[in-house]
Amino acid sequence: MNKEVKKIAPVTKLETKRCKRLRQTICVLYILTIFFCALPFAQLYNPDGSIGSFTIFNLLIDGFRYGADYFGVGIVALIVLLIPVAGFLFASFDKTRLLKCAVGILCSIVGIALICFGLGSYVSIGGILSIITYMFIAVLSAYLALVISADRHNQKLDKEEARPQHNFKLDKQD
């Protein structure tokens, strides 16, 4: 009768309430950024020569539909759409590591740069609201990194204080 002994892992707290609230706030801001892609995002020339307001989804579809002239616009629209999706996935699934903070800051920098330099002066209300949201995401991601580091440091100090402290030496007597 060979019974397998299962080791029970110690229960560890994944994240504190403050970290969880910050992470959920960042996730909501990413969802808002994805929602802003459905608002008028850029004002560009139509193929017939008139100026029109386009959402990211229109830019994505029209950029690949009209061929080589608008192919770059389609690629920029695809990347602008994928940045908040990737940031949301990292923020929602990564609960213990600092990687979500680095990805949040990186996605914010790349998103702002792509909106400012990719679409340039043609940015409309959706792009402006996305830039503002990315700024909040970058600040909250940096703050979350500091909170996680402080919590880890406090947990380490709590473990050290829980150990028995001795101020004496034990001598062996024969």
Reported as a pLDDT band with limits 50, 70 and 90, residue 8 is low
Q: Is the residue at 54 inside a domain?
A: yes
pLDDT of residue 163: 65
**Cα(111)–Cα(129) distance, integer angstroms:** 12
What does the chain look like in DSSP terms, one character per residue? --PPPPPPPPP-----HHHHHHHHHHHHHHHHHHHHTTS--EEEE-TTS-EEEE-HHHHHHHHHHSGGGTHHHHHHHHHHHHHHHHHHHHHHH--SSSHHHHHHHHHHHHHHHIIIIIIGGGB-HHHHHHHHHHHHHHHHHHHHHHHHHHHHHHHHHHHHHHSPP--S------
Per-residue pLDDT reduced to its tens digit, 69-114: 677 778 888 899 999 999 999 999 988 888 999 999 999 999 999 9
Q: Is the residue at 7 inside a domain?
A: no
Q: Check pLDDT > 90 for residue 157.
A: no
Q: Check pLDDT > 90 for residue 143.
A: yes
Per-residue pLDDT reduced to its tens digit, 41-58: 888 777 777 888 888 888
pLDDT of residue 96: 82
Domain count of the fold of the chain = 1
Q: Which residues contact 69 (CB under 8 A, 6 or more apart)?
A: 47
**In terms of residue numbers, what domain contains 67?**
17-159
Q: Tell me the average pLDDT across 153-163.
A: 79
Q: Is the residue at 172 inside a domain?
A: no
% of the chain exceeding 70 in pLDDT: 82
Q: Is the residue at 171 inside a domain?
A: no
Q: Is the residue at 12 inside a domain?
A: no
CA distances from 155 to 8, 118, 150 (A): 21, 44, 9
Q: Is the residue at 99 inside a domain?
A: yes
Q: Is the residue at 37 inside a domain?
A: yes
